Structure 1
Amino acid sequence: MTTHSDPNGLFIQGMTDPEVLRQFIQQKFSEAEIQYAYEKMLEDTKALAHTEKIPLLQAFWQVLGQAYAEKAPPLTCKMGCAHCCHTGVSITQLEWDGMQNAARQKGIPLQNLMARSQKSVDRVAKVLASGVDPETVDWHRTVVNQPCPFLDDDDACMIHEDRPLDCRLMVAFREVCASKNLEHAQRGVLVEEAVAPTVIARLQYEQTPRFKRRKFTGMQKLRLIQHWLLNWKNKKSSKKKH
C-alpha cells in the first residue's frame, strides 16, 4: 500500500518499513533543526525538573506535550478510541521505571496486568524461550491485535499521564481512527518527535551509575511492555527463592 502525507505529517497506514518514516523526517527537517531541537529539549527538560522538583522523565513529557500544544493542530484522539492500543509498544528502561512507579502510585498490581494480557505475554515468552536472536524478531507483529497490558476494560489507559513515547507519538488530527488500520494516525509531525528518542536515551544514560556507563550512542535498548513484565516476574521469583 502506498503511503501518503499532508502538511501535518506522514500517515502510517500502509507504512511497513521504519526507513520510510526516517527518510520523511530527514526531508522535512534539516540537520540544524534536529540538532537544535535535541539540545533545547534536553536543556528545557532538566530546567523544568529542577524547578518543579519532578523526575526528569515527567519533565520531558511536559516539554513534549507543550511542543504539540504550540505547533500541532488539536488532536482528535480521545479516551476510548483505543485502536492504536492493540499493537506492540517498545519502551526503554527509563520509561518502564516511570510506568512501574505510576502503577504503584495508582495501586495497580503488575501481576494483574500480566493476568489480563496473558495471551500476548505468553507469545513473547515463547519467542524468548525459542533461542532466536531477539534482534531479528518482529516484536510488534508478535503481539499485533492484542491489547496493551495497561488498557482497561473501558478502553482507557490506566497510566495515561505516564504513557511511553511510542504511545505519545501516535497522533491523529483529521478524525478518530475507525479501525486498527489507524487510517488517520500520523508520524513525523514535529521536529521534537525526531529527537525525542535520543533525549530519552540521554536522560537514561545520565542516570546510569558512571561505572556502568558505556559510550553514549544516542540509543537505549527497547523492549515490549510484555517483555518488561516478564523480566519483573522473573526478578520477583528470583528474590523469593533467596
Structure 2
Amino acid sequence: MELKSDARGLFIEGMTDSTELSSYLQRKFKDEDIQNTYESLTKNHIKTARSQDITPLSKFWQILDQSYKKIPPLKCDKGCAHCCHTGVAATKVEWDGILNNVLKNKIDLQKVIERSKRTIERVREALRSNKSLEQVDWHRLVINQPCPFLGEGHACIIYEDRPLDCRLVVAFRGQCESKKLEHAQRGVVIEETVGATVIAKIQHDQTPKFKRRKFQGVQPLKLLQHWLIVWQEKNNKKR
C-alpha cells in the first residue's frame, strides 16, 4: 500500500485490497466518527428508503454518491473505463440489486455471459478444480479483461447499481490514462469506511429471522463472473 498526499490530504493511490483499505481508513478517521456515521446510515437514512419506495441498498448508493459531491469534482467520466478491467466482487445483496437493474432495463444476461465468455470460463474452471476457494487468486483470472457489464462506448450498463467495489475507485486529481489507474484513489470519504458493514447490515435485515442464526456478519464476496455462473446454472435448472 502506498500512501500519498496532496492539497486534499492523504489518500491511497490505485487499487488496494480490502484489508489495506480498512486499515488505512481506521487510521484516517476517528473511531467515534466511524461509529456515528454507521449508526446514522443504518438507523436514519436507510430506514427512509421505504418511504421513498426504493431499496435500502439503493438509498445507501445515493448517500455515497452525494458524499463525493461534497469534495472536488470527480474526473471520472463516461467512457473512461480503465478501472473496469479488473476483478469486481459483490455480495449477495449487491448482486440482487444488479438483477433488479437487469430486469428494469431489460438487459439480456445471456448476451452478457456470451460477451464475457473468456473470463467466465476461467472462473468456471477454477470452481470445478479441487482447490479450496481460498487457494484461488480470483482477480488474477480476470485481470486486464473488461467487466461483463461494460457495454458499448465503454459505459457501465448497470451503473446506478454497480457494487461497492466499483464505487471506491475514484479520481479527483486527473483522469486516468491507462489501466495503471495513475490518478485513482481510495479512502476519500468516511462513508467508505462503513460501506461493507452497512451492506452487511442491509443483508442481515433482509435475511429471514430463522436463518439469521447462521449470519456471520460479513457477507461472502463473489466475482461478477461467479454470480453470472450461479444465475446461469439456476436458470438452466428451471428448464
Q: For the superposition of Structure 1 and Structure 2, which TM-score range results when normalised by the shorter chain?
A: over 0.9
- Aligned-pair CA distance for 1:56: 1.2
Answer yes or no: is 1:56 the counterpart of 2:66: no
Q: What amino acid is aligned across from residue 42 of structure 1 in structure 2?
A: T
TM-score normalised by the chain length of structure 2? 0.93
Q: Contact 1:64/1:192 (CA < 8 Å) preserved in 2?
A: yes
Maintained 8 Å contact 1:37/1:191: yes
Deviation at 1:2, TM superposition (A): 4.8
How far apart are 1:239 and its partner, in Å? 1.7
* Stretch deviating more after TM superposition (24-33 or 220-229): 24-33
Distance in 2, matches of 1:233 and 1:9, equals: 43
Give 2:145's aligned amino acid: Q
Looking at structure 1, the residues matched to 59 and 68 of structure 2 have their Cα atoms a distance apart, in angstroms, of: 15
Assess, with a 3 A threshold, how the Cα gap between structure 1 residues 165 and 144 changes in structure 2: closer, same or farther.
same
Q: Hey, what does 1:181 align to over in structure 2?
A: 180
* Aligned CA distance change for structure 1 residues 45 and 2 (closer, same or farther; 3 Å): closer
In the alignment, is the contact (CA less than 8 A) between 1:9 and 1:187 conserved in 2?
no
Corresponding residue number in structure 2 for 1:40: 40
Unaligned runs of 5+ in 2: none
1:10–1:21 CA contact under 8 A, matched in 2: no
Asked if structure 2 preserves the Cα contact closer than 8 Å seen for 1:87 and 1:140, the reply is: yes
Question: What corresponds to 1:10 in structure 2?
Answer: 11
**Residue aligned with 2:153, SS:** coil
Q: Distance in 2 between matches of 1:46 and 1:62?
A: 10
* Separation in structure 1 between the aligned mates of residue 168 and residue 30 of structure 2, nearest angstrom: 20
**1:140-159 equivalent positions in 2, closer than 5 A:** 140-159=139-158
Q: CA deviation at 1:131?
A: 2.0
Change (3 A) 1:121 1:206: same
What's the CA shift string for 1:177-205, capped at 9, x where partnerless?
00000011111111110101100111011
1 CA distance for matches of 2:122 and 2:233?
A: 16
Rounded Cα–Cα distance in structure 2 between residues aligned with 1:29 and 1:236: 44
For 2:112 and 2:126, locate their aligned partners in 1 and report how far apart those are by CA, in whole Å.
20
- After TM superposition, the score normalised by the length of structure 1 is 0.92
Answer with 118-127 or 216-225: which moved more: 216-225
Are the aligned partners of 1:87 and 1:143 in contact in 2 as well (CA < 8 Å)? yes
Aligned to 1:132, the other structure's residue is in SS state coil
- TM superposition shift of 1:24: 1.6
Whether the 8 Å CA contact 1:25–1:188 is kept in 2: the answer is yes
Q: Which residue does 2:26 correspond to in 1?
A: 26
1:66 equivalent to 2:66? Answer yes
Distance apart, 1:4 and its partner CA:
2.6
Inter-partner Cα distance in structure 1 for 2:88 and 2:115: 16
Name the CA shift for 1:126/1:9 in 2 (closer, same or farther; >3 Å). farther
For the Cα contact (< 8 Å) 1:81–1:155, is it kept in 2? yes
User: In 2, Cα distance between the equivalents of 1:161 and 1:17?
Assistant: 23
Which digits, 9 at most, give the CA deviation of each residue in 1:52-95, with x for residues without a partner? 1211111111111122222x221000000000000011101111
- Provide the secondary structure at the position in 2 that maps to 1:4: strand
Q: CA deviation at 1:141?
A: 1.6
Distance of 1:220 and 1:3 partners within structure 2: 28
Work out the number of aligned pairs and report it. 238
> How large is the Cα RMSD of the aligned pairs?
1.8
C-alpha distance in structure 2 between counterparts of 1:107 and 1:17, whole Å: 33
CA 1:45–1:137: 2 relative to 1, 3 Å: farther
The percentage of counterpart residues that share the same residue type is 51
Query: What amino acid is aligned across from residue 11 of structure 1 in structure 2?
Result: I
